[in-house]
Amino acid sequence: MPGSQLAVDPGLLTTLVFKLAVMAALATMLVRYRRFRHILIFERRTLPDRMAFALSLGIPLTAGVIARLLLNYNAADLTLEGSFLAGLIAGPYAGATVGVMVGIPPLGIGEWGALPFAVGCGFAGGGLRELCPKEAIWHFSPFVFTSMPRRVWAMLRSLDVDWQVVLLLAPVALEFLRQIVGLRWSDHHRLFFLHGAPTSPRLLFAVLLATVLAVATPIKIWNNARIEHRLQEQETLLLAAKIEALANQINPHFLFNTLASISSLIRTQPETARMLITKLSGLLRRLMRSTDHFVTLREELESIDEYLAIEVVRFGPQLRVDKQIAPQTLDVIVPSMILQPLVENSIKHGLSRKVGGGRITIKTHVRDAHTVIEVHDDGLGMTEERLVHALGDGIGLSNVDERLRVIYGANYHLKLTSVPGEGTCVSLAIPELAVPERVTA
């Protein structure tokens, strides 16, 4: 009965399903390795990269061929698909290398056509890679089948190559060739092929479709890894742009406030103003010399010392600074210019209007794998109502708060506590391993 043709050999259909599962599992396993992902992501591959790709794909494929020979497990033999895929992704020599690897074991049982056929599949995939646009390979899809007549007609009418059609027809042609050659010498077992397909058009179509899917599935899996890498790169670039924008915002803010302090002394204390300008030029030279968005806490404290030297000259001995720095925190990486706005805020809003002396205390300690930095002042303090709006009213604190959120996530932000008449404390926590290397502009 025509409707029962697919039931001629149910074992063949099972083999095709397991064949796709084997290829999908192999592609998923390989993409987990960083070196393999690196080879996929960058189109310009060195000879060692291409050989590493060929070996990574060729060794498990060769094991599959051996499993077919020893265990009669036909679904593990992906000679055509693997050789063609290696050539398509990494070039003709990688494809030929995989072809040689998978073609040698069958020679032991007299399948003399296996080696030249496998190498030919590798060169076929490599040849297509050399001819077609590289991005077209990653768009390879079996769904082109559904629009094949329209695409072929459009290609013939415009005389313009539709590479999706070419990429689809290539493995189909290779599989069809294998079926013909295998059937021709089926009595002598010169070339492995899935028996039973040529006896039924539907089964033959199923075999051809499985071959295309076995090539398209790893391409889809690997392309997803490439897209994920590109998204991560874009997120990294966006993060760097946000950090740079915030850093560019805080530097003019700091400079404006310091110049405002100096201008107030020019007429009444010109010598002091001249000294402040000298110290400010040294601090600016230090800031301009470094393009790092991240520094060690040690370097950040050195910058704060230069800033405080300016403020101590301005306020005189009534401004006292106390540091309680845990030694194990000095080499922790922190965002640059993270402390200056906090200290400036303590001086401007906490101590400048206070009668008599004032003290600023900078503390650091380690808690729950975080470096906690606190800036205390014994100034006027803030009411609860004012405390609620403190982060949004000024540039300095809001900038620091935004940088913490951008760099470390929404759970990281400034914490303000204050008691009217007693002072204010602003604190932040830095995860010790959040930024393993410095980011520069």
Q: What is the DSSP letter of 440?
A: B
For residue 307, give the nearest of 286, 329, 334, 330 by alpha carbon: 286
In a domain, residue 356? The reply is yes
Q: What is the DSSP letter of 286?
A: H
Q: What is the pLDDT of residue 221?
A: 94
In a domain, residue 336? The reply is yes
pLDDT at 284 over 90: no
Q: What is the pLDDT of residue 256?
A: 76
Q: What is the pLDDT of residue 2?
A: 42
Confidence of residue 438 (pLDDT cuts 50, 70, 90): very low
Residues in contact with 305: Cβ distance below 8 Å, sequence separation at least 6, in sequence order: none
Q: What is the pLDDT of residue 254?
A: 64
112 and 227 part of one domain: yes
Highest mean pLDDT among 211-225, 242-256, 283-297, 418-432: 211-225
Q: What is the pLDDT of residue 249?
A: 59
What average pLDDT does range 201-228 have in this prediction?
91
What average pLDDT does range 214-235 have in this prediction?
88
Confidence of residue 23 (pLDDT cuts 50, 70, 90): very high
pLDDT at 76 over 50: yes
In a domain, residue 244? The reply is no
Distances (CA, A) of 204 to 118, 165, 257, 430: 20, 19, 80, 63
For residue 166, give the nearest of 205, 208, 137 by alpha carbon: 137
pLDDT at 311 over 90: no
Residue of 132 and 312 predicted with greater confidence: 132
pLDDT at 441 over 60: no
pLDDT at 14 over 60: yes
Q: What is the pLDDT of residue 355?
A: 59
What average pLDDT does range 73-102 have in this prediction?
94
Residues in contact with 46: Cβ distance below 8 Å, sequence separation at least 6, in sequence order: none
Residue of 245 and 143 predicted with greater confidence: 143
CB of 319 within 8 A of CB of 377?
no
Number of domains in the chain: 2
60 and 189 part of one domain: yes
CB of 262 within 8 A of CB of 273?
yes
pLDDT at 326 over 80: yes
What would the two tokens of residue 332 be?
Answer: 């922790």
In a domain, residue 108? The reply is yes
288 and 358 part of one domain: yes
pLDDT at 439 over 60: no
pLDDT at 7 over 50: no
Q: What is the pLDDT of residue 112?
A: 92
pLDDT at 70 over 90: yes
pLDDT at 250 over 80: no
pLDDT at 29 over 90: yes
Please state, for a pLDDT cut of 70, what percent of the chain lies above it. Answer: 85
- Greatest extent of the chain over all pairs of C-alpha atoms, in Å: 110
175 and 54 part of one domain: yes
- Domain boundary among the residues 187, 208, 232 is at 232
Q: What is the pLDDT of residue 3?
A: 41
- Domain boundary among the residues 209, 232, 255 is at 232
Q: What is the pLDDT of residue 362?
A: 93
184 and 269 part of one domain: no
63 and 114 part of one domain: yes
What average pLDDT does range 332-339 have in this prediction?
85
Q: What is the pLDDT of residue 5?
A: 41
For residue 80, give the nearest of 122, 51, 52 by alpha carbon: 122
- Residue 182 has φ and ψ, to the nearest 5°, of -60, -40
Q: What is the pLDDT of residues 42-54, one digit of tens each?
A: 877 888 889 999 9
298 and 426 part of one domain: yes
Residue 140 sits at the vertex; the CA angle it makes with 135 and 144, to the nearest 5 degrees, is 135
Confidence of residue 19 (pLDDT cuts 50, 70, 90): very high
Q: What is the pLDDT of residue 93?
A: 93
pLDDT at 4 over 60: no
pLDDT at 435 over 70: no
Q: What is the pLDDT of residue 251?
A: 59
What would the two tokens of residue 44 be?
Answer: 């310009």
What's the pTM? 0.63
In a domain, residue 238? The reply is no
pLDDT at 440 over 60: no
In a domain, residue 257? The reply is no
Residues in contact with 129: Cβ distance below 8 Å, sequence separation at least 6, in sequence order: 87, 88, 89, 90, 91, 92, 137
282 and 141 part of one domain: no
Distances (CA, A) of 313 to 226, 271, 353: 56, 11, 17
Q: What is the pLDDT of residue 1?
A: 38
Q: What is the DSSP letter of 373?
A: E
In a domain, residue 424? The reply is yes
Q: Report the chain's terminal Cα–Cα distance, integer Å.
A: 73
CATH code, domain with 400: 3.30.565.10
269 and 227 part of one domain: no
Q: What is the pLDDT of residue 244?
A: 66
80 and 125 part of one domain: yes
39 and 121 part of one domain: yes
Write out the residue range of the structural domain in which residue 11 sits: 2-232
In a domain, residue 72? The reply is yes
CB of 335 within 8 A of CB of 440?
no
16 and 117 part of one domain: yes
Strand partners, 365: 372
What average pLDDT does range 226-231 have in this prediction?
86
Q: What is the pLDDT of residue 8?
A: 46
For residue 379, give the nearest of 319, 306, 316, 304 by alpha carbon: 319
